[in-house]
């Protein structure tokens, strides 16, 4: 008996509720369908279906066996597809993590283009506001904006992430426009919990400038601060990729053009170079290509 065929027959009968319908779907006779079912039941050692003149229904053993048959058929299909595909062809699912703001504002359209380029692939995104343990959470690739890398992980630099200090026109009209970085101490600054919460760092004319800041709102997700800035709650330091559209539309104004906020680097981080899957290598190459071609990453807004 071809057990995979017998499992396929059983799944079709269970899904369609009819031996005749399953036979039509599988292009085999009703007698052959019955034979495969009987042989599968003999192999399993239990009756899988209740048969009456009106309908078919699963027995308790059939209910237990059906999902296992589906799983085995899926595995068999994956093995066949894998054997038919060259080893260097990206395929399968990549589990990727990044911040909510980066995922929503920038990565989502990029990943759509990646999936179109490589139709045999899928992406499972984990959007979180924390550094994920790649091994424990089975993550293949983390996109991180940082200047402090974990030495136990492998990282590939994708781009430089620049920031911009900005505020809404309404806030500036009510509270005035800071003329220097030091003036920020007199303003309500909306701060990011994990970076620069109480100290914003700049460079002016090649010299570092650090300014203590504070305000009535902080958050662990920069997109929340961006919305609050647009609403006139205060001044915030935002990644250029997130603020560019709002700056161009006039909803936000860039401030302190003579002061360059400290640059961060954006990395693709993964656990090991050994047996690196083709989909991970393709994703890293793709992101380097996309970041380098985007002027919002290559040049400051102001």
> Do 173 and 223 fall into the same domain?
yes
Whether the pLDDT of residue 150 is over 90: the answer is no
> Do 271 and 156 fall into the same domain?
yes
pTM of the full predicted structure? 0.62
Whether the pLDDT of residue 17 is over 80: the answer is yes
> Do 248 and 185 fall into the same domain?
yes
Q: Tens digit of pLDDT for each residue in 91-133? A: 889 999 988 888 887 888 889 999 999 998 999 998 887 777 8
Residues in Cβ contact with 265 at an 8 Å cutoff, skipping those fewer than 6 apart: 145, 146, 147, 157, 159, 160, 161
pLDDT tier for residue 169 given thresholds of 50, 70 and 90: very high
Residues in Cβ contact with 285 at an 8 Å cutoff, skipping those fewer than 6 apart: none
> Alpha-carbon distance 291 to 102, whole Å?
13
Find the domain containing 113 and state its range.
92-161+265-298
> Do 279 and 153 fall into the same domain?
yes
Dihedral of alpha carbons 52, 54, 58, 62, sign: positive
In the chain, DSSP finds a helix count (H) and a strand count (E) of 11, 15
> What is the number of other CB atoms lying within 10 angstroms of the CB of residue 123?
18
DSSP calls for 226-238: HHHHHTTS-EEEE
Residue range 138-153: mean pLDDT, rounded: 84
> Do 169 and 254 fall into the same domain?
yes
Q: Please tell me the predicted confidence (pLDDT) of residue 196.
A: 58
């Amino acid at each position: 008996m071809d057990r995979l065929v017998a499992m396929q027959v059983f799944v079709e009968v269970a899904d369609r509720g009819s031996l005749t319908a399953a036979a039509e779907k599988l292009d085999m006779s009703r007698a052959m369908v019955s034979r495969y079912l009987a042989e599968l039941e003999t192999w399993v050692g239990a009756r899988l279906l209740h048969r009456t003149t009106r309908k078919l229904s699963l027995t308790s053993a059939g209910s237990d066996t059906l999902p296992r048959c589906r799983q085995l058929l899926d595995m068999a299909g994956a093995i066949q597809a894998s054997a038919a595909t060259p080893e260097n062809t990206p395929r399968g699912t990549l589990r990727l993590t990044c911040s909510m703001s980066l995922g929503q504002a920038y990565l989502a359209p990029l990943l759509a283009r990646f999936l179109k380029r490589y139709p045999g692939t899928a992406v499972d995104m984990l959007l979180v506001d924390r550094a994920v343990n790649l091994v424990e959470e089975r993550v293949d690739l983390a996109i991180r904006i940082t200047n402090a890398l974990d030495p136990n992980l492998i990282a590939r630099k994708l781009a430089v992430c620049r920031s911009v200090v900005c505020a809404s026109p309404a806030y500036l009209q009510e509270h005035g426009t800071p003329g220097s970085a030091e003036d920020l101490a007199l303003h309500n600054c909306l701060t990011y919990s994990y970076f620069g919460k109480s100290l914003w760092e700049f460079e002016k004319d090649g010299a570092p400038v650090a300014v203590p800041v504070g305000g009535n709102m902080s958050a662990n997700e920069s997109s929340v601060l961006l919305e609050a800035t647009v609403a006139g709650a205060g001044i915030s330091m935002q990644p250029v990729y997130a603020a560019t559209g709002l700056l161009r539309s006039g909803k936000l104004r860039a401030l302190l053009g003579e002061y360059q906020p400290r640059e961060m680097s954006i990395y693709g981080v993964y656990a090991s170079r050994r047996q690196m899957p083709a989909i991970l290598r393709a994703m890293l190459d793709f992101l380097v290509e996309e970041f380098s071609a985007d002027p919002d990453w290559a040049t400051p807004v102001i």
